[in-house]
Structure 1
Amino acid sequence: MNERDSTYNIANAKLGFQNEVERLKVQAMMGWDKEFRNLSWYGLQNGMSVLELGSGPGFVTEQLLNGLQDSKITALEVDIDLLDVAKSRLDKFPSPRLQFVHSSVYDTGLPDNTFDFAIARLLFLHLHYPEKAAEEIFRVLKPGGKLVIIDVDDQVFGVVEPNFTLLSSVIQKLANYQASKGGNRYIGRSLPRLLAKAGYIDLDMDTVTQHSDLHGIEGFKRQFDINRFIAFYKNGILNKEEFDQLNQASENINNSPEAYAMMNFVMACGKKPILNRL
């Protein structure tokens, strides 16, 4: 198994490296207050040993460090360039509170039964082998430890106003393209069964909704940046009518005060059982 058995590689980002990092920043921060609230509901507490998987440039890592000031955060990332960005950004935090690990979610190299809580945010949709990842995270969690996956299901993607009639067609084609590369933009609906199969118990599930009127329009501008979709049009994945409607939606979000958008994210939680010993 290749350590990068994933559909995400920042080297292939349509916006270029630095613009993609900025997009990831906005994406991470848009609904963080809600996500952190839900993580707390699921049992995340100050003082816990926390593993963040697919930590990227470290924007969520930074929020965890600020919100859990007595916790040790371990940030695991397979892309060395993103890890270097995170190390540079977060060098103000002392090493006892923050550990960086350059490794794969499939084979972390971390010891058994180490972490109280694990978080995988917008990672599983990219994985070729999500079950293997869930099993590896299970291994490194302490008995009683929890994994929370924050991810997408494009069937309940959200809405864009003014609506464009081919939105569902565009979403379907982009999901099909990701599936052809080994990912799954409908992973959200599968998370409870995936967690159960890996041995997790006490499963729970919720959604987090981000709305431009509540969280600002900037993140949605980046999500609908037409430059992200040009290659899909040039490669025949999107037809001209779909691309033109997408371009109009992008212009509306960027320029029209009447435009707004809403996106839904799925959160699923499972616990590693505590084994009774006689």
Structure 2
Amino acid sequence: MLERKSTYSIGNVPAGFQSEVERLKAQAVMGWDKEFRNLKWYGLHNGMRVLEVGSGPGFITEQLVNSLPDSQITALEYDKSLLDEAERRIAAPPSSRLELVHGSVYETGLADNTYDFVIARLLFLHLHNPSDAAKEIYRVLKPGGKLVIIDIDDGIFGAVNPDSAVLPSVIRKLAAHQAAKGGNRYVGRSLPLTESGYCDVDMDAVVQHSDLHGIEGFRQQFNINRYTPFYKKGMISEEEYGQISRVSEALNSSPEAYAMMTFLIACGRKPGEI
């Protein structure tokens, strides 16, 4: 039986499965052009054998299949319901082009020295043991292959308009809740690449802004229903909940509203030559 060792489970999302899938879609596709530009800058190119770990319902997987028409793409996902969603949703390419694998990033079951490039997007913040995951990815990379991690750090979260004085305290409380479950919403500053054997480590940032990508994806991220369970449990105060509600309403109705989110992108190479 696969061991989770992760804070994320779509079955525990209060909004329900389909609503969460739509949120994940908005989160994935709104900044793909920028993320793909960075991935190519770090060496991703057509024809490579590519592994996506924590592939979820397959929105990034689909982008990879379409953007790299001569590459073999493997998508690894722990949650079978999300893997099934990806299989239903992605227009089936030849089996030689796409492989969906039910597995854990800690123990993938994949062969040594197999992949040219591995992508982990918004996965490491959920992991109890990120170093173990990085080492397992190292094992399946070819010598000279690269791991790119795209993730968050709530210390440089971003910005919204209208501004909310309580948003920083709410973010800290949600980060503390994540940490208590074994995750890390500040993982962007402490990704375990060097300690796991990777060399030529580099970091950059990808900025997503509603003026560039549209407001809809940000509405999903600030949907008040995502914060309601924390309010009901007493983790955020009535004042904090009220202010977040006003931000959510403004993003849905105000022409002056905008939002910006910052994602960190880190790359490490397995020593050797492909």
Task: Give the TM-score category using the shorter length.
Answer: over 0.9
SS in 2 for 1:7: coil
Report the Cα distance in structure 2 between the residues aligned to 1:6 and 1:258, rounded to whole angstroms: 38
| Equivalent position of 1:151 in the other structure | 151
| Equivalent position of 1:210 in the other structure | 208
Deviations 1:214-260 (A, max 9, x none): 10000000000000110000001101111000000000111111110
Query: Shift of residue 15 of structure 1?
Result: 1.1
| Equivalent position of 2:237 in the other structure | 239
Counterpart mapping for 1:24-43 below 5 A: 24-43=24-43
Deviations 1:103-140 (A, max 9, x none): 00000000000000000000000000000000000000
Bigger Cα displacement from structure 2, 240-249 vs 87-96? 87-96
Q: What amino acid maps onto 1:145 in structure 2?
A: G
Counterpart mapping for 1:197-276 below 5 A: 197-274=195-272
Counterpart mapping for 1:53-132 below 5 A: 53-132=53-132
Question: TM-score of the superposition, structure 2-length normalised?
Answer: 0.98
Report the Cα distance in structure 1 between the residues aligned to 2:29 and 2:13, rounded to whole angstroms: 20
SS in 1 for 2:234: coil
Task: Work out whether residues 143 and 270 of structure 2, in 8 Å CA contact, stay in contact via their aligned partners in 1.
Answer: yes
Count of residue pairs the alignment pairs up: 274
Question: TM-score of the superposition, structure 1-length normalised?
Answer: 0.97
| Equivalent position of 2:3 in the other structure | 3
Aligned-pair identity (%): 67
Query: Shift of residue 94 of structure 1?
Result: 1.2
Query: Shift of residue 92 of structure 1?
Result: 2.2
Report the Cα distance in structure 2 between the residues aligned to 1:91 and 1:111, rounded to whole angstroms: 27
Report the Cα distance in structure 1 between the residues aligned to 2:17 and 2:178, rounded to whole angstroms: 20
Query: What stretches of structure 1 move > 2 A for 4+ residues in a row?
Result: none
Report the Cα distance in structure 2 between the residues aligned to 1:14 and 1:31, rounded to whole angstroms: 25
Gaps of 5+ in 1: none
Deviations 1:43-76 (A, max 9, x none): 0010000000000110000000010000000000
Note the aligned Cα RMSD (angstroms): 1.2
Q: What amino acid maps onto 1:78 in structure 2?
A: Y
Query: CA 1:131/1:122 → structure 2, altered by over 3 Å: closer, same or farther?
Result: same
SS in 1 for 2:255: coil
